[in-house]
Structure 1
Amino acid sequence: MSDSATAGRSSGQGGLPGSKRGQILEVAAVILCKNRYEDVSLEQVRQATGLTEDHFQAEFASMREIAEAILDLERASMKFAQQVGEDAGVAGPLEALRAAFRVVGRNIESRPAVRAGIRIASESREAFPNRRLDPFLTWRSFVVKQLEAAARQSLIHPSTDVDRAAWLLVSAGLGTKELVRFCGEWDRMSERLDDTVDCVLNLMGYSVSDR
């Protein structure tokens, strides 16, 4: 990971602060990676932190508040990945896509809060009707922008339908993420997402050997 990407882990992408609140979120995220949101109680998280009830509830009064904070961290990490992709776009729009997906993979591998946020958004979205938990909308504009630039530069086949291609790429990424989660192979997320992006780009007429 580049120095800028590494720096973002503690700032631009909503890194967990070294505060009591941040420590609670770290503990809760580990629990929520392994359990459904609906099955986790506030007391379970409190006991895992070792904090007294008063100190704990001064930070979070409900599991919903904890989940909302984790979802915010997960969303910030995705926005940060897109920013890294934009910065990498000087090497070309397809490299921007690859860079963004690579950061997503590394964040999922290394940050329990990101994994927990993904699981909450996937399994428990009905519990948060006030939030737009739609990963395609989160990624559509970024992916379309890069594919449109790639088409103008003749980096992908001229007949490529950019909107459909964006749907395919995001869907393939989401499917990869779900399969990795199902298999419990979080440490292979970067590798799997790299392969996924390369395969989809190859379908659009871009060869990995063209990098």
Structure 2
Amino acid sequence: MTLTDTEVDAPRSVSIVATGTLSAALREAIDADPGLRLSAVAPRFTDLVVDAGFPGDVVVLAEEPGRALLAHAVTAVAAGALVVVHADVDDELRDRLEDSGAVVVPLAASVAAVVARSATARHTRRRGPRVVTEEAQRRPRLSPGERRALAHYVQGLTTVQVAAAMGVGYETAKTFLRRVRAKYTAVDRSAGKRAQLILRAEEDGIL
């Protein structure tokens, strides 16, 4: 078997943001699909971001429609995941989600339909409004470690506590946070203080 064959046959890892019976149904359906592997499950996107399994190959977002959902989808796409949104959204939000590269599956669709899209969706991004492109250009590319450190830090943890939560040394955590600040500064988005980092995390869907 060639390396290409192995890559094609490997199950896709799927991360889920969902709660209650919907979360349970999605987990069960993914476990039953040989082409998928459950990577992480979280009730909130901010919990998923700090999970070692984030982003995985696919992120399923079963959240309330709104600005936060869009920010979470954009963040997951930027992290390299295929995004499947399972929610009832209006036409404007649907357009913005699809412009970002996300796939939208309405709540009326079955869990099986969501799982099927998770297994078959491909990276596609429509040519969206200019404002979406400009926002993407000003969103720094954070590594998984930097993203996790930021998510912990903006929830009130000290650098020492961030290091403990991530299982890394203090200097490593400090370096992650320093790089986060530097990357935001490089795109003209102030992030020197914790309050500014909280704002950036909210804007970019990390909170």
TM-score normalised per structure 1: 0.22
Normalized per residue, which structure has more helix?
A: 1
Normalized per residue, which structure has more strand?
A: 2
Rg (Cα) greater in structure: 1
Structure possessing the higher relative contact order (Cα contacts under 8 Å, 6 or more residues apart): 1
